[in-house]
Structure 1
Amino acid sequence: MTTSPRTAAGPGSADTGLLYSDVEDDLRKELRTLLTDRCPAADLPARVEAEQPHDTGLWTALAAELGVTGLPVPMERGGAGAGWRETAVVLEELGRAAAPVPYLASSVLATAALLAAGDGRLLPEVASGDRIAALAVPFSSPPDLPFPDTVRYADGGLSGTVTSVAGARSADVLLVPASGGDGPGLYAVDTAAVGHTVRRTARCSLDLTRPLADVALHAAPATALATGDEAGRLLRRALTTGAALLASEQLGVAQWCLSTTVAYVRERHQFARPVGSFQAVKHRLADLWTLVMQARAVARHAVAALDSGTADPAPEAALAKAFVSEVVVEAAETALQLHGGIGFTWEHPVHVYLKRAKSSALALGTADRHRAALAHLVDLPAAGA
């Protein structure tokens, strides 16, 4: 598939509506067809026991067959010339499938940093999916994170350790924030070229579809992407974009939990009646449907802010991540409980979605952290002030 670029007239003219365009609907259909074939939910419990950090065949299909790994990248830099709204649709479907691919790490976090840096060397390879990139910060890092100082730059190399990096095990390129004699900087490290100077150690992760790794650097050769205040700006932009887009992935997880549970309680019978006919079950699912629809609105609003040229989309990103993080956990817990005994077994995929929901709620800042950030961004008085 080749995604058509935006035809809006100039920067800041991206559609800010919450409805999906025809292009986005077509993209969703193609993605859902591919994921239903290549990543069925029933296969997930077995897939998470595989030794590979991600599904290489599915990643190749996303990159080569659908061309969705570089959606927000301009065509002149090897991308599709679309935007973050289309990227959000991809993440909704990947969340719905709990797909074990490094899309958030490479096509969102790393790509956002490279776009903000104006990079023309790495971006085409990352956009095509030929190389996987990862932003080397702990996956729990919120957008207002103080600039990291666990890695130092000296004499052309990086030394230090970064813990719990998403996508690091698969990454061909690491984008590493580091301090040095000239202040903060964001550096690119080619993991294939430096050999033993980069060591990646797998971490035990709650979400087995998104493995984490500790990265140890020992005088690893690095290329500067930005230094000084610009490095801090790039890092904040990447993490803000990641938080906003992660809300869309969480929306996909919540939608799967709701749809699958509704289908299950229609067919599961107790006392010669479908479980879904009981009023308590109806009310709980109706409440969950309302929450998911609200989550869709705030998630769409966040990515629209990213695409509209808003100077600082941090408030919209914080609102989306804070709200949707709680909705996705509620959806996954409801799915587990209403599936009854079968939902607690390893063979049923609902536990995979619960783990994705819980881990994503902690990723890129917790709901409480984003609420506090939002209060600061909109000048609300602190508690007790």
Structure 2
Amino acid sequence: MHFDLTPEQSDLQSMARDYFAREVTLGAARATHDNPEFWDRGAWMRLADIGFTGIAVPSDVGGGGGGIVELAIILMESGQVVASQPLLPAAVASVMVQRCQGAARDQILRDLCDGTRVAVATLEHCDPQYSGDPAITLADGVVTGVAPQVIDGARADLLVLPVLTDDGTAIAAVSLDQGATGVQPRESTDPTRPVADITFTNAAATVLATGPDATNILQFSRSTAWTLLAAESLGVGQASLDRTVDYARSRAQFGKPIGSFQSLKHLIADVFVGLESGWPATFYAAAALDADLAEGPSSASVAKDYCAEAAFRAAATAIQVHGGIGFTWESDCHLFFKRATVNRAILGVGPTHRRNLLDTLLADLKI
């Protein structure tokens, strides 16, 4: 498989990088960090205006007609500024909904594309240890239960989630502006990635998919979430590396830049190699999912595990190389470190992904 981006995808990457650097800055991340309830919804509308929120939505409902690769590009560039916008759960929601059928599907996608409503997916089913039994039950058109620690749940207008019915698992959409829902923000290690518990008490729901269709959509969305989190982690890691290199070049000790010291060269080189190796892992997974290849899910699992670890090492190394200033609130290092820490912990920790990959390989070998 050819790993290079197409000219159109390269243009998208340049456009996204310029936009995030100019419009969604670290200053916005700090504002959210200091006040987790702060959210610039206008920034979300501007992301919709330039087509980022609907980049992978079919063009017949107002989207850009792209795929997982295009979503990965957006998420990777957003990671470089620790963007405090619901891009990850909204992207997963768009992927889930577009694989469903019916009039409700089209309206949700249109609203997501133009930014009028923020639809996010609960990502509980994206953990490799997910039991397969949704925590939310659906009966007679209403849902009951608690969706725990929903990423950007307090910012959402609509929740897309798996539900348990008498006939098995289904996918439903629930509006959060009705009185039968309750949203309780929870403390997060990374305040720029807020979470909330969402309680449903006989809340009206729209069923989007049932039976095998719902199961297949959930499986695909899980692989998508792993791939997009890997892409975002690459952006977080690259931004940490860039700041580390700049500091090592400018900070002098004993009459020479500290970047000339062999011990720091090795640290920085290890980070560079780790992130460079993560790029093909992530975009192979994205391309495999777009092409519906059988190895898509396992490739996505590898990408999530590897890139989340690489980003964490990059962020931790940034603090180490920056020395005393790296531990201060004034330094941006802690913003990247907190995002990398959370990304490593959510959607399955490394040992779980590795164990599942081993099981898959052994099954293929019939051992």
- TM-score calculated relative to the size of structure 1: 0.89
| Residue pair 1:137, 1:164 contacting (<8 A) in 2 also | no
Match of 2:250 in 1: 267
Task: State the distance in 2 between where 1:53 and 1:235 align.
Answer: 31
Between 207-216 and 108-117, report the one with greater CA deviation: 108-117
Give deviations 1:162-187, integer Å, cap 9, x for gaps. 11011211111111222122222211
Question: What is the CA-CA distance between 1:149 and the residue it aligns to?
Answer: 3.4
| Aligned partner of residue 52 in structure 1, secondary structure | coil
Match of 1:178 in 2: 163
Task: State the distance in 1 between where 2:350 and 2:309 align.
Answer: 7
Structural mapping, 1:221-260, within 5 Å = 221-260=204-243
Q: 1:306 to 1:144 in 2, by over 3 A?
A: farther
Give deviations 1:45-102, integer Å, cap 9, x for gaps. 34411343533232122111x2111111111121101222111111111001100000
Q: What letter is aligned with 2:153? A: A
Question: What is the CA-CA distance between 1:315 and the residue it aligns to?
Answer: 1.0
Q: What letter is aligned with 2:96? A: A
| Residue pair 1:253, 1:328 contacting (<8 A) in 2 also | yes
Give deviations 1:260-315, integer Å, cap 9, x for gaps. 10001100111121110111111111121111110111011111111123256111
Q: Is 1:128 the counterpart of 2:126 in the alignment?
A: no
Select the residue among 156, 162, 180 that pairs with 2:147. Answer: 162
Question: What is the CA-CA distance between 1:245 and the residue it aligns to?
Answer: 1.2
Task: State the distance in 1 between where 2:8 and 2:225 align.
Answer: 23
Select the residue among 237, 246, 265 that pairs with 1:282. Answer: 265
Task: State the distance in 2 between where 1:125 and 1:305 align.
Answer: 28
| Aligned partner of residue 159 in structure 2, secondary structure | strand
Q: Is 1:220 the counterpart of 2:206 in the alignment?
A: no
| Aligned partner of residue 124 in structure 1, secondary structure | helix
Give deviations 1:327-377, integer Å, cap 9, x for gaps. 111111001111111110112111011010010011111111111121222
Give the gaps of 5 or more residues in structure 2.
Answer: none
Task: State the distance in 1 between where 2:13 and 2:359 align.
Answer: 36
Question: What is the CA-CA distance between 1:43 and the residue it aligns to?
Answer: 5.5
Task: State the distance in 1 between where 2:289 and 2:242 align.
Answer: 29
Task: State the distance in 2 between where 1:51 and 1:380 align.
Answer: 45
| Residue pair 1:147, 1:232 contacting (<8 A) in 2 also | no
Q: What letter is aligned with 1:163? A: P
Task: State the distance in 1 between where 2:231 and 2:109 align.
Answer: 23
Task: State the distance in 2 between where 1:282 and 1:57 align.
Answer: 42
Task: State the distance in 2 between where 1:177 and 1:136 align.
Answer: 8
| Aligned partner of residue 179 in structure 1, secondary structure | strand
Select the residue among 329, 349, 362 that pairs with 2:332. Answer: 349
Give the gaps of 5 or more residues in structure 1.
Answer: 1-15
| Residue pair 1:137, 1:163 contacting (<8 A) in 2 also | no
| Residue pair 1:143, 1:240 contacting (<8 A) in 2 also | no
Q: Is 1:368 the counterpart of 2:340 in the alignment?
A: no
Task: State the distance in 2 between where 1:211 and 1:47 align.
Answer: 9
Task: State the distance in 2 between where 1:160 and 1:330 align.
Answer: 38
Match of 2:70 in 1: 86
The structure richer in helix per residue is 2
| Residue pair 2:57, 2:95 contacting (<8 A) in 1 also | no
Give deviations 1:175-216, integer Å, cap 9, x for gaps. 122212222221111122x2x201010010111111000010
Q: What letter is aligned with 2:173? A: A
Q: What letter is aligned with 1:26? A: D
Between 206-215 and 117-126, report the one with greater CA deviation: 117-126
Question: What is the CA-CA distance between 1:380 and the residue it aligns to?
Answer: 5.3
Q: Is 1:35 the counterpart of 2:44 in the alignment?
A: no
| Residue pair 2:164, 2:170 contacting (<8 A) in 1 also | yes
Q: Is 1:153 the counterpart of 2:138 in the alignment?
A: yes
Give deviations 1:88-143, integer Å, cap 9, x for gaps. 1111110011000001111x2111111222432312211332221112343x8425
Q: Is 1:300 the counterpart of 2:283 in the alignment?
A: yes
| Aligned partner of residue 295 in structure 1, secondary structure | helix
Task: State the distance in 1 between where 2:227 and 2:76 align.
Answer: 12
Task: State the distance in 2 between where 1:52 and 1:170 align.
Answer: 9
| Aligned partner of residue 325 in structure 1, secondary structure | helix
Q: 1:18 to 1:320 in 2, by over 3 A?
A: same
Question: What is the CA-CA distance between 1:237 and the residue it aligns to?
Answer: 1.4
Q: Is 1:359 the counterpart of 2:342 in the alignment?
A: yes
Task: State the distance in 1 between where 2:357 and 2:34 align.
Answer: 38
Match of 2:55 in 1: 71
| Aligned partner of residue 130 in structure 2, secondary structure | coil
| Aligned partner of residue 168 in structure 2, secondary structure | coil
Match of 1:189 in 2: 174
| Residue pair 1:72, 1:84 contacting (<8 A) in 2 also | yes
| Aligned partner of residue 122 in structure 1, secondary structure | helix
| Residue pair 1:144, 1:236 contacting (<8 A) in 2 also | no
| Aligned partner of residue 244 in structure 1, secondary structure | helix
Match of 2:88 in 1: 104
Task: State the distance in 1 between where 2:138 and 2:27 align.
Answer: 46
Give deviations 1:243-268, integer Å, cap 9, x for gaps. 11110110111110111100011001
Q: 1:377 to 1:121 in 2, by over 3 A?
A: farther
